[in-house]
């Protein structure tokens, strides 16, 4: 399963406010899973970027995404880490970067950017998939570093 970033942080950032109803929703999901003997394996990003971050700085095309993603995942670790012990940072990063930013895939996935103007209104297929992939990898690395430094020992103890 995955946690929806915009459900938790509708404006994409901690400074934009935390959706307490979103937190409560996932608390209920995790409690029900565990009550029924199901161990949650949770993906932190399954392509549902908050629209505000796409509008503000073009999402994963910007290095700004790394800090905002790290803040989101830290909130998830704090809120749900007592029950979730298995985290996956990114779902299919290659497909996200290529399908949303590369003309050879016709930009058929969000945000639909590519060089072929008959298929996409904006984008550069020669560079954008690689920039996005780079920022995805840096976001993954920041998540792993954060988890190892602040949360892994707690996970092992529990």
Report how far residue 58's alpha carbon sits from residue 52's, in angstroms, rounded to the nearest whole number: 9
User: Per residue in 67-117, pLDDT tens?
Assistant: 999 999 999 999 999 999 999 999 999 999 988 888 665 557 888 888 777
Distances in Å between the alpha carbon of 69 and those of 19, 50, 89, 126? 16, 10, 10, 25
By the 8 A CB rule, do 63 and 137 touch? no
φ, ψ (nearest 5 deg) of residue 99: -70, -25
CATH of domain 5-157: 3.20.20.80
User: Per residue in 3-42, pLDDT tens?
Assistant: 999 999 999 999 999 999 999 999 999 999 999 999 999 9
Which residue is listed with tokens 């909130």?
A: 75
Domain ranges for the chain, please list them: 5-157
């Amino acid at each position: 399963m995955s946690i929806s970033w915009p459900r938790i942080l509708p404006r994409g950032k901690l400074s934009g406010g935390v959706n307490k109803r979103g937190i409560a929703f996932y608390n209920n999901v995790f409690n029900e899973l565990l009550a029924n003997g199901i161990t949650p394996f949770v993906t932190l990003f399954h392509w549902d970027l908050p629209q505000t971050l796409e509008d503000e700085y073009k999402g994963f095309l910007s290095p700004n995404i790394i800090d905002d993603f790290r803040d989101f995942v830290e909130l998830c670790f704090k809120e749900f880490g007592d029950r979730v012990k298995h985290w996956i940072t990114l779902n299919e990063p290659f497909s996200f970067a290529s399908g949303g930013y590369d003309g050879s895939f016709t930009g058929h996935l969000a945000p639909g950017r590519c060089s072929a103007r008959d298929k996409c209104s904006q984008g550069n297929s020669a560079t954008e998939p690689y920039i996005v992939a780079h920022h995805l990898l840096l976001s993954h690395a920041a998540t792993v570093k954060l988890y190892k430094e602040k949360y892994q020992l707690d996970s092992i103890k529990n």
